[in-house]
Structure 1
């Protein structure tokens, strides 16, 4: 039997459709919780969503991680107060943060892809991988900001990326600690 590539595969007794649906819903719930821990900033609030998205991708894998983010976005589009500050609705998905919200899908997928290929294993490799894939979030986020605000690309990067880099580095450390710690705990079992 091949070694499980993700924490979810290693810990769940079944890979049934029901179990996968529960992982997706649990992942979207974690992202929702991360969104509620927010520091108001304009035009993009600082939240723990990035940490939650990376944790979901690193733990569940590329497909389930991306599906969890898509479920989260669908819940918000349907009116559930899952976005930062308890907001919801299609207006959020077309507002200044839309590029980041859509970038979360790519971020979760990329994190899962790196884990599935054994690239993000152990603390240092997971940390390096998590920092490296942050561009998949900032590219659509900054580009969208330039499309829907009067900001230039440079201005959008100054308000939508630069203030978040230090925090994202800390979040990457936390994610690497949590995931490598999860693998270490499983190995001791």
Structure 2
């Protein structure tokens, strides 16, 4: 049997986890500080936890479903927005950056403390690459770097530490 094939019970569990994960992401998007041009939300924390707790397949499935829901117009993005225009707007790169972040965070499961910390930080930072690159098309590179990355560094460190603490607590 193909290693990538899912048995029906496993496929149902993955679908259920993805649905729950996308709901968690949608809820985390509504906890927001209205920075411009990119709001500060709890989404990156949710992405880290979905990947680290559920593993890369769950994290990717949840983020993928969340992005699909938003693209279809469901009000799942920050501020209760949705639709294809959001995926073409200033925050689109960050939203797409959730995919590699979820995958990297998924590699943290079952690792030691130092490896988990490094992987969660890497996952959190990697979402800024497409985020800042895309945002630069709207604001210019200098403003994208300042308002789309440097402004978020303190929150990124706090959320990464919180994700690590929650992951370690769940391990116990």
Q: Which residue of 2 aligns with 1:153?
A: 141
> For 1:18 and 1:50, how far apart are their aligned partners in 2?
25
Matches within 5 A, 1:25-174: 25-115=19-109, 118-119=110-111, 121-122=112-113, 124-147=114-137, 149=138, 151-174=139-162
Residue 17 in structure 1 maps to residue 7 in structure 2: no
> For 1:170 and 1:15, how far apart are their aligned partners in 2?
37
Q: 2:104–2:122: 8 Å Cα contact kept in structure 1? A: no
> For 1:60 and 1:93, how far apart are their aligned partners in 2?
26
Residue 180 in structure 1 maps to residue 168 in structure 2: yes
Q: Which runs of 5+ in 2 are unaligned?
A: 1-7
SS at match of 1:134: helix
Structure-2 change in CA distance of 1:126 and 1:114 (3 Å): closer
Shift of residue 15 of structure 1? 5.9
1:159-189 per-position Cα deviation (integer Å, ceiling 9, x unaligned): 10111110011111111111111111xxxxx
TM-score between the two structures when normalised by the length of structure 2? 0.90
Q: Which runs of 5+ in 1 are unaligned?
A: 1-13, 185-189
> For 2:123 and 2:162, how far apart are their aligned partners in 1?
15
Count of aligned pairs between the two proteins: 165
> For 2:9 and 2:144, how far apart are their aligned partners in 1?
42
SS at match of 2:127: helix
> For 1:178 and 1:114, how far apart are their aligned partners in 2?
13
Q: 2:33–2:40: 8 Å Cα contact kept in structure 1? A: yes
Shift of residue 17 of structure 1? 1.3
